[in-house]
Amino acid sequence: MTFWPRNRDLESTRQSTSRHALAVATALSLTSGLALAVQDSDLRLDSTGDLYAVCSVPASAAEYPVTRQACRSFIEGVAQYHDLVSKGRMKRLYCTPKGSTVDNGVQVFNAWAAANASDTTLMGEEPAVGLIRALAAKYPCKG
């Protein structure tokens, strides 16, 4: 799943990643004085269920800006890592259509997680595993 232009060089990718990290840090610092429903411990992503809890916060919630950025950053990070390691000998685990975005990834993951929310085994897995399962189910590689 490529969520950034394929012709972007590594340095501009690093700069973009740094900007995303700065945006998350800024958002967290700006909201640290507010009484939000999401506490620091809630933003732990120890399981697929945790990722689903963060990624499914409604837009009307006060903590939405922070959780949205955390969700999007996690998904983009996993997607970038998958793209990098699958350029070598590793087989791609999923194949997204051209033009896919991080928001598509969020929607796909949330739909998959909602459909599997009662499966404690799946929801207990590492969040990257759950995300890959969701993307592979929606975007299987052909051939």
* DSSP per residue, the chain: ---S-TT--HHHHHHHHHHHHHHHHHHHHHHTTS--SS-GGGG---SHHHHHHHHT--TTSTTHHHHHHHHHHHHHHHHHHHHHHTTTTSPPS--PPTT--HHHHHHHHHHHHHHTTT-HHHHHS-HHHHHHHHHHHHSPPP-
Question: What CATH number is associated with residue 63?
Answer: 1.10.890
96 within a domain of the structure (yes/no) = yes
pLDDT of residue 89: 80
93 within a domain of the structure (yes/no) = yes
pLDDT of residue 103: 96
pTM of the shown model: 0.72
69 within a domain of the structure (yes/no) = yes
pLDDT of residue 52: 97
The tally of domains found in the chain comes to: 1
Q: What is the pLDDT of residues 18-29, one digit of tens each?
A: 455 545 555 544
6 within a domain of the structure (yes/no) = no
Structural domain range at position 120: 45-138
Q: What is the pLDDT of residues 67-124, one digit of tens each?
A: 999 999 999 999 999 999 998 788 999 999 999 999 999 999 999 999 999 999 999 9
